[in-house]
Structure 1
Amino acid sequence: MLGDPEQEEDFQRFLRRVDEISSLVQDLSSADSAVKEKAIAEAGKRLCDQAASKEGASRTRVDRTVINTGSPDLAEAQTAEAFLAGLEKDAKERAQQRQRNELLANALKEQGNEAFRKGDYARAVQSYTEGLEKLKDKQELYTNRAQAHLKLHQYEEAIGDCEWALKCNEKCPKAYFLMGKAHLALQHYGESRQCYQKMLQTDPQKQSLFKGTEQTLFRTNNGFSLLRDKEAVRRGFCAERRSSAEVDLAVALLLLWQAVCSGNEANQHLLLTDPDVKAQLPKLLSSGVAEIQKETLALISLCSENEYGRRLLGQHRDLTSWLQILMGFVHHRDARAGSAMDILCALAAEERFVAQCSPLLPTEVLPLFTQLLASAKLVNQAALARCVGIVGSLCAAVGIRVQLAECRECWQACLQLLDQYLSSPPQLQECSFEVLGLMMNLLLESNVVIQGLALDISGRCMALLGDQDGGIVTRATGVLSRILPAAPWAVEAAVAGGVVKRMIRFLKVGGEITSTYALKTLCICTRSSREAQEALVKADRRFRVLLKLLDSENETIVGNAALCLGQCLAVPGAAKSLLDSNVVMTLLRHAGGDAARTSVQENSAIALGKLCVAEPRHLLQLRKLHGLTILNSSMKYVHSN
């Protein structure tokens, strides 16, 4: 694979010579006299050999021998000293030359690296080659050139460079790795595996690189045909009733598929598009054998971790049955329930899955879902909470939301779960939180079922307003803000139950989300209930809470605060209580402002008008501020838009 034998021999001779000269120079400087004398003798021998070689090359017919009349010992000493000086000089010159070559080789290596980064692999090969002409024993140049050869699909050349790199450094894991890739591309599977095994021997930490190669070897050697070609494997894997041996076989095959599909999209594609596998996966999930279910869930979960795998799973024809099967794992109290919810959560993000669920939801999925809600204390509650959350996210699709909102059984199961939570608060807290979120989503719809249950729904929410969990309170307030518009009698019951006072308290101490829901609830109650208006004036003396909300940066809060204020100004004394405040200035600023939501200008202008009608002294202040002109211009602008 190295090409020219003479070139290889020349390279080996060069390496040996460098090693010998380096060793000799080191011995000449040794503190050990015996080692030093031996080195001098060896140097003298090399000098004589070199002189004889030169004499043989340039011999003439004239004998010009000069007889040395001096002392033989003196001549020998002078010769040794001269050789040593020449050797040291030669070593320095060689070191300097190598240093220059090293700099040139490194510069050419960087040129090659830059060309490689830009995708100009041919230019990279050229730069690495020029670098090797300067320094033929630089291992990095061989491995870098091998990498460029791989990009150019020049696999034989890549293997040759890797072999040269290993001559420079026999423990170079990169050389083994690149050689393994080249052999793999040439379908030399045995050689490829040997390369990776040697790589692991030199550097065990490179195990992750070898994993991908094992997966490729499994695929290229038709490993996925095992189920199709081996009748015994197929029969045991697909059996309706399995013996213990067949269970072990199915588990082993599932574990094998997990190993070869982990992080490998090509293998996932082959597995999940195989007709037999597609047909068997739902059967394995519903097999009733815990070991098989566990490993099947692990395999599907592994594939659902990446977008490509989720898309492959979403191509199955009967995804609704998957929804039912996965929901059914909520009954299990072990890790299977969590794995099933992981998969369900991943699939719920796929449009195809959502589209397939919609038509069969009422007849096949909703009965199971309501059953799970009704038996909340008997199932895996953590998994049930996640299941409810996933169904809530599916309600982003209008078709699914409409069907659930029209299902009286679903509403009743939700209310039943909330009743169980209210009777024993420490239990079902997470489930109740998710159920309230689901109810908020469903209340984006309006129908007769919701109207008929409005009193029950609002009653449960009123009971939850005193809960110790802030998340429960926030969502209960949100449900109230959406259910009260559905039925006037629900508003009356909520007002009688003290909802206004509770909402004012939330506005004083609650966060922005809770405040948004609470303020909307107050707007709904004060719009139609004089009792609510009077309760608000009494609970929020001089409208301190509402005036503070008018200074909010949230336009929704500002608009609703102005609306709520305007609705309460008909209460005797309400407008008068604001005489010493800056309410006119504040409302005028919003009425003439440029808020994105026109409801801010409209509600502020209406509230300002009601304020001046209820208490004329506010009109005097409005005129001083040229407010009438501002209001006129503002309303024209609002109506034109």
Structure 2
Amino acid sequence: MCFFVFMVTCVLQNADEISSEAFLASVEKDAKERAKRRRENKVLADALKEKGNEAFGKGDYETAISCYSEGLEKLKDMKVLYTNRAQAYIKLGDYRKALTDCDWALKCDEKCTKAYFHMGKAHLALKNYSESRECYQKILEINPQLQTQVKGYLNQVDLREKADLQEKEAQDLLDSGKDTAVTTKNLLETLSKPDQIPLFYAGGIEILTEMMKDCAERTLFRTHNGFSIISDNEVIRRCLSTAGKDAVEETVCVSVLRLWQAVCSENEENQRLLVMHPTRGQLLPALLASRVPTIQEQSLALLLQLAQTENGRGLIISHLDLTRLLEALVSFLDFSEKKANSAMALLTDLALEERFHVWFQANLPGALPALAAVLKRDPRVTSTSALCQCIAILGNLSAEPAARRQLFASEEFGDACLGLMAKCEEDMDLFREVMYTLLGLMMNLCLQPSLVSEVWAVEVSRKCLSLLNSQDGGILTRAAGVLSRTLSSSLTIVEEALRAGVVKKMIKFLKAGGQTASRYAIKILAICTNSYHEAREEVIRLDKKLSVLMQLLGSEDEILVGNAALCLGNCMEVPLVASSLLTTDIVRVLLRLAGGDAQKTAVQLNAGIALGKLCTAEPRCVGRGSPQAAAREGTRLWDRALSRHQGPSSLCSSTISSSCSSSLTLPRHLPFSLPPSSLLCFSRNRETLCFTFLPGAEVLGECPLRKQARWGGGTMMKRSRPARREPVLELGAWPLSAQTPCRSGPA
């Protein structure tokens, strides 16, 4: 009996084990099948999404909704299908369904910013202003980097809420029987009559314009379809679109433009409806380009009014044909000074907007002919102030690297700059302001020397060398600025500059002081002394004991310091110069700069270069005071510098001019504690001997070639001298705005 029970128990246990294994296998199989089905459904859902997106792009929102819905049947947790369908519902005005889809998208992903965006739009359309703001604020909480976009969305909510309040107040006035409100409504009904003579509409519009004194009347114009009544009227539309207008058509156009000015005054919602209408994106620039003076004036006045506010400028940039608008505004340079200045004021307002910069870079090829035409104008017959303002705008726009590349790609634009310079040179007293502003533009154009062609740079440099004879301080400074950015493009022009006495003039700049002028002057001297021994000798002759250059080493401007150190190092190659500095503290100053006091690595490099040349030319500079103290100071500064840098990049390098043979005995007491990994390179005659701390050093302005060498009088490997040695260019230079333009109205 016991045996039987035992056997039954074993059988049951085996059955349980088999059942458990089968169950696990079944679960695993089911999971694999579900994963496979999900992958297949994902492919189908993606295809339906693309099909829906294609329909959405064509404006077929019903089909798009159908595709998105079918995709959701395949994959119910695909959030992008919910947000896409919500967007399609918004296009159809079904805001409740859009909100439902946004809720489902948030259930799939609680941080879905696109869902909050569409939810905010739907609430705004339903006039749920508080809920709309909450949605947009939620986007900012999820992604703070979207602050600019969220600010725009919240501004839209504020404007729509303000417009809603205005409409309620206007309706209350109309219901109360206020005369102006009732008259406005009646006039709009009268103007809606079709097929009247043009003067009938012109007269009615003028009366209506007189009624637009208060916010209520302007709001009633909007709520009673005033914009549609004007735009949809066949007679009025024909008058607006006719190219060659007779007196009657001119009267209608002028009356409409004045009405638009009146209804858009201090009314953002009316501005939005006016500019966002599909046909007016082309119409307003076309009216501005009209040959009829009164239409031009009223069109310009309307656009200036819109540009008074950030919202209005955004509407112009987003919805008008900017290429055509730019061409029309530039054409105003042919008119009276008052008109030209007003047009440039409008262009300035737009050009200060970031969105305009984005458009400009994307559409520059189409705008280039108009821009080149500005520079080709004869300054004798163009308003000087307007021309300067237009060139200043170009200067500000060219501060963007992408814009500079495209401008330099146009040979026509570069030639136009040279042509205008030549015209201004004919009478510098008369065209001083034009030349000054043009030099500002050219300074920005030359910010990236790699973009500048050598032929163009040589021509510009020659003209700037001529301008250095001017008695005008502003012209002198900007001419030096341009020259500092073009001079290094050709050794030929450096030779011409030396013959023209550029070293003497730049030393005068430095002695006169002024940070901007000094920055340009020291860079020019760095270029000249880096290329020609004669330039070094002239600097030493004009700057006794190099006092001016040494003074620059104490400047807070590291661009000045870096180029001054490079210039000093170059001058150390002149015999006996280093000896004249024995009584100065130049060693300590250069030590501190090379050891880490300077923030920029390039400044440290050039200070080390100058220090190495100085110590080799005059070994007594090393032994001044206590050698042990010098070694301790060098070690301290070296350790400090190491703590500021990580990795194998160099902190400082020294380049020494030498005419010795292939072995060299260095001073016993160097001002540095050299680490074991020091590397030494050497070459003969007037070529370069370079020792570099830590492998991988990169010396701005010296282009060293590193070779293996043994420290302590061993054999060293040679290198050929580079064809030319570049100076430190303007470290961290920023674009110089040609002129700071003023807005035509409040920001």
CA distance in structure 2 between the partners assigned to 1:232 and 1:448 by the alignment = 54
- Does 1:579 pair with 2:582? yes
Superposed displacement of residue 289, structure 1: 0.8
Relative distance call for 1:394 and 1:288 in structure 2 (3 A) is: same
Secondary structure class of the residue paired with 1:467: coil
- 1:227 counterpart residue number: 230
What is the CA-CA distance between 1:183 and the residue it aligns to? 6.8
Counterparts in 2 of 1:276 and 1:444: CA distance versus 1, 3 Å: same
Structure 1 residues 597 and 348, CA, compared in 2 at 3 Å: closer, same or farther? same
Q: Give the corresponding residue for 2:557.
A: 554
Which runs of structure 2 are paired with 1:561-600 in the superposition (5 Å)? 561-600=564-603
Contact 1:196 1:210 in 2 (8 A): no
Q: 2:639 aligns with which of 615, 627, 633?
A: 633
Q: TM-score, normalised by structure 1?
A: 0.66
Report what 2:460 is aligned to: 457
1:416 aligns with 2:419: yes
Q: CA RMSD in A?
A: 2.9
Give 1:427-442 correspondences, 5 Å limit. Answer: 427-442=430-445
Render the CA deviation track for 1:368-387: whole Å, top value 9, x for unaligned: 52464352322222211111
Partner of 2:407: 404
Structure-2 separation of matches of 1:422 and 1:434 = 14
Find out whether 1:481 has 2:484 as its counterpart. yes
**SS in structure 2 at match of 1:551:** coil
**Kindly tell me: are residues 485 and 250 of structure 1, through their superposed partners in 2, closer, same or farther at Cα, counting changes over 3 Å?**
same
Which residue is equivalent to 2:271?
268
1:457–1:372 distance in 2 versus 1, CA, 3 Å: closer
What is the alpha-carbon distance in structure 1 between the residues aligned to residue 303 and residue 377 of structure 2?
Answer: 29
- Return the offset for 1:595: 2.7
Amino acid in structure 2 at the alignment position of 1:384 = L
Comparing 553-562 with 446-455, greater Cα deviation is found at: 446-455
Following superposition, the deviation at residue 272 of structure 1 comes to 0.3
**CA shift at 1:459, angstroms?**
1.0
2:446 matched to 1:443? yes
- 1:187 and 1:580 map into 2 onto residues whose CA distance is 89
Corresponding residue for residue 528 of structure 1: 531
In the other structure, the counterpart of 1:20 is: none
Give matches, 1:173-188, under 5 Å.
Answer: 184=169, 186-188=171-173
Q: Is contact 1:555-1:600 (8 Å) kept?
A: yes
Cα distance in 2 between the residues matched to 1:379 and 1:246: 31
What TM-score does the superposition give when structure 2 sets the normalisation length? 0.57
Shift of 1:273: 0.8
- More displaced stretch, 428-437 vs 185-194: 185-194
Q: Is the 8 A contact 2:170 2:219 kept in 1?
A: no
CA contact (8 A) 2:167 2:223 kept: no
What letter is aligned with 1:220? T
1:360 is displaced (CA, Å) by 5.2
Match of 2:176 among 188, 191, 204: 191
Question: Could you tell me which amino acid in structure 1 is paired with residue 591 of structure 2?
Answer: L
2:382 to 379, 382, 396: 379
Give, in whole Å, the separation in 2 of the partners of 1:437 and 1:336: 25
Distance 1:383 1:533, change over 3 A: same
Greater helix share, 1 or 2? Answer: 1
Residue of structure 2 equivalent to 1:40: none
State the Cα distance separating 1:467 from its structure 2 match: 2.1
Q: CA 1:303–1:362 in 2, change beyond 3 Å: closer, same or farther?
A: same
- How far residue 611 of structure 1 moved from its aligned partner, in angstroms, is 0.9
In the alignment, which residue of structure 1 is the partner of 2:254? 251
Shift of 1:632: 4.0
Change (3 A) 1:192 1:377: farther
Distance in 1 (alpha carbons) for counterparts of 2:610 and 2:574:
13
Question: Between the two proteins, what is the percent identity of the paired residues?
Answer: 42
Equivalent position of 1:293 in the other structure? 296
Q: 1:169-204, CA deviations, whole angstroms, 9 ceiling, x for partnerless residues?
A: xxxxxxxxxxx979726544253746999xxxxxxx
AA aligned opposite 1:191: S
1:313-332 superposed matches below 5 A: 313-316=316-319, 318-332=321-335
- Whole-angstrom distance in 1 between the partners of 2:407 and 2:282: 30
The 8 Å contact of residues 181 and 192 in structure 1, kept in 2 or not, is answered as no
Paired with 1:183 and 1:368, the residues of 2 have a C-alpha distance of 47
Post-superposition Cα deviations, 1:75-131, rounded to whole Å, max 9, x if no partner, equal xxxxxxxxxxxxxxxxxxxxxxxxxxxxxxxxxxxxxxxxxxxxxxxxxxxxxxxxx
**Counterpart of 1:338 in 2: which secondary structure?**
helix
* Pairing of 1:52-91 with structure 2 (within 5 A): none
| Amino acid across the alignment from 1:345 | T
Q: For the Cα contact (< 8 Å) 2:522–2:564, is it kept in 1?
A: yes
Counterpart of 1:31 in structure 2 is none
Q: Say which of 522, 537, 543 aligns to 1:540.
A: 543
Contact 2:565 2:606 in 1 (8 A): yes
Distance 1:390 1:232 in 2: 40
Q: Which amino acid in the other structure matches residue 337 of structure 2?
A: D
Distance 2:453 2:430 in 1: 27
Identify the range of structure 1 (624-633 vs 593-602) with the bigger mean alpha-carbon deviation: 624-633
Q: Deviations over 1:451-491 (max 9, x none)?
A: 11222111111111232332221111111111012222121
Q: Per-residue CA shift, 1:26-74, capped at 9, x if unaligned? A: xxxxxxxxxxxxxxxxxxxxxxxxxxxxxxxxxxxxxxxxxxxxxxxxx
Structure-1 residue corresponding to 2:675: none
| Separation in structure 1 between the aligned mates of residue 486 and residue 644 of structure 2, nearest angstrom | 30
Amino acid at match of 2:455: G
Contact 2:408 2:451 in 1 (8 A): no
How far does residue 299 in structure 1 lie from its aligned partner after superposition?
A: 0.7
Q: Classify 1:370/1:527 alpha carbon distance in 2 versus 1 (closer, same or farther; 3 Å).
A: farther
Larger radius of gyration: 1
Query: Which one has more relative contact order, counting CA pairs under 8 Å at least 6 apart?
Result: 2
- Secondary structure at 2:484 match in 1: helix
Counterpart residue identity of residue 629, structure 1: T
How far 1:290 sits from its partner (Å)?
A: 0.9
- Once residues 168 and 387 of structure 2 are traced to their aligned partners in structure 1, the CA distance between those partners, rounded to angstroms, is 51
Change (3 A) 1:223 1:317: closer
CA distance in 2, matches of 1:277, 1:261: 14
User: Deviation of residue 564 (structure 1)?
Assistant: 1.1
* Structure 2 counterpart SS, 1:491: helix
Q: Which amino acid is 2:313 matched to?
A: R
Shift of 1:504: 0.8
* Correspondent of 1:217 among 197, 216, 220: 220
1:390 counterpart residue number: 393
Q: 2:312 maps to what in 1?
A: 309
Question: How far does the alpha carbon of each residue in 1:259-303 deviate from its partner, in whole angstroms, 9 at most, with x for none?
Answer: 221222111101001123222112111111111111101111111
Give, in whole Å, the separation in 2 of the partners of 1:389 and 1:531. Answer: 38
Contact 2:333 2:382 in 1 (8 A): yes
Question: What count of residue pairs does the alignment treat as equivalent?
Answer: 453
Q: Report if the CA contact (8 A) 1:563-1:604 is conserved.
A: yes
For structure 2, the residue ranges without an aligned partner over 5 or more in a row are 1-128, 131-164, 183-211, 650-747
Q: Does 1:500 align with 2:515?
A: no
Correspondence for 1:366 among 360, 365, 369: 369
Distance 1:349 1:331 in 2: 24
